[in-house]
A = this chain, B = another copy of it.
Amino acid sequence: MGRREGGGRSGRGAQRQAAGPQQLTWRQVRNPYRPVAVLSDDQVEAIHRAALRILEELGIEVMSDQALDRLAAGGAEVERASGLVRFDRGLVEQALASAPDRFTMTPRNPARALELGGDAAIFGLVNGPPFVTDLDRGRRDGNFADYQDLLRLGQSLNIVQYVTHQSVAPMDLPAETRYLDCYQAILTLTDKAFYAAATGRERVEDALEMVALASGTDREALRDRPSIFSVINVNSPRRLDGPLSEGLIALAEHGQPAVVTPFCLMGAMTPVTLAAALAQQHAEALAGVVLTQLVRPGAPVVYGGFTSNVDLRSGAPAFGTPEYAKASMAAGQLARLVGLPYRSSNANASTSVDAQAAYESMMSLWGSLMGGAHMLHHGAGWLEGGLVASFEKLVLDAELLQNMAEFLTPIAVDDDSLAFEAMAEVGPGGHFFGTAHTLARYETAFYQPLISDWRNFESWQEAGAKTATERANALWKRLLADYQPPPLDEGRREALAAYVARRKEQAGRLAA
């Protein structure tokens, strides 16, 4: 009958809410579990072989002479007229032999350094939306004030482990130089790992210069010490554009990680079948990996998976679907086959921060993390297929990420945790609230959520009958009110400001 399963809940939860949630402490997330295999070993091999055939027979278009030069010099077959590059499998194998399977990201505050690869994973802030939204102010164009607030939240939430140069696009700043303002904001408002722009060489080099200034060192000292990273999207099918090719080259030259991520919407940018999408993604990612290793053997590079589907009846992209979860796990298998760290994302296509946003994000998170992802991009704040950065979604995602981080904490099994004596102490039908074993573990036994409300219906109603999204709204406001910038030497702060001013002036002269 299950009659005890719905059993009584007390109304004693009220004081916890008033005291406010406590966050998980800053931590290196480690994934102790064997990833889920959605493909057999034979299937993984078949997809890898199909990708090698795509690289050998169909090739990848590369829209940069610099990149074509490097590829031709490295032994790829380059058609100059079309920009088409074909890669034989020996070239791919050579690249895979030199690319590392893990590295450490070291931001300006070395206490925030994090490993990426092996069992170590890292979670990031949303990047790229042109719009921003919250419950109070609604959906609006991205702007620098909101951008800075998103950074402040990213700094405040321990589970958000890296911040992004464009958590929302600050449309109110001049397009050509806004990245400099964003870099300056990152390096003054946060001290976490820094996800930079890579559309062209100078955005990469400016990021490195500025990290060096904020760290009191120089750019040369950062070589081969990953301090920034960026996604290099392949414009699927089979096209790597000019600015991103050159950004990739700049990252690799400096030993900074390029996260090569084909953008594979099945039915639009790839065939509708998952096997084909994975083969195409794999080929496109490997092409980028080869280029990094020709530029600098041993340069860190991440295998990016971003395969989802469109609604074939409308053309609308979909995220956090069953296909997305399977693709995320399969991509992890392919990344492990070639020995590279693996990037996936916390994606959803909901237009509001509702149950759909939550379940699609959960499909993404389980697919990604049980797929063995080492880098979870767009980890917090992504809404509406990436068109919108949402303040409430950012806090909701922090809750989901904390849930996953706790899920990834292994179970202890020893005499102490098996607690035979405590069980002997409590008779049949008794309870364990007051036992010494419980009291000793009272504060830390279980995960304490950020926004989940476990109070009974009456207490919840008395407190205003707020949804999880409304509770998230209250929490981001409190986090912003409580925000404290991380320490930064005044001289370094001034050096950053001077650098940005000088670079803007140069840009102005070039434009004139």
Contact = CB atoms under 8 A, between A and B. Distances in A.
A267 to B, nearest CB: 6
A148 interface: no
A468 B47 CA distance: 36
A150 to B, nearest CB: 15
A355 interface: yes
B387 A455 contact: no
A446 B263 contact: no
A467 B354 contact: yes
Contacts of A57: 424
A9 B237 contact: no
A438 interface: yes
A238 B424 CA distance: 11
Contacts of A47: 413, 418
B322 A447 contact: yes
B317 A9 contact: yes
A330 B274 CA distance: 31
A60 B428 CA distance: 7
A343 to B, nearest CB: 11
Nearest to A362: B362
A18 to B, nearest CB: 11
B273 A418 contact: yes
A318 B263 contact: no
Interface stretch (A107-115, A186-194, A399-407): A399-407
B423 A280 contact: yes
A46 B437 contact: no
B423 A54 contact: yes
A166 interface: yes
A185 interface: no
Contacts of A27: none
Nearest to A400: B359
Most buried by B among A231, A422, A445: A445
Contacts of A246: none
A197 B1 contact: yes
B326 A267 contact: no
B46 A418 contact: yes
Contacts of A396: 355, 359
Contact of A1 (B199, B312, B358): B199
A313 B276 contact: no
Given A355-B354, A418-B276, A420-B54, A266 B446 contact: yes
A351 B453 contact: yes
A462 to B, nearest CB: 11
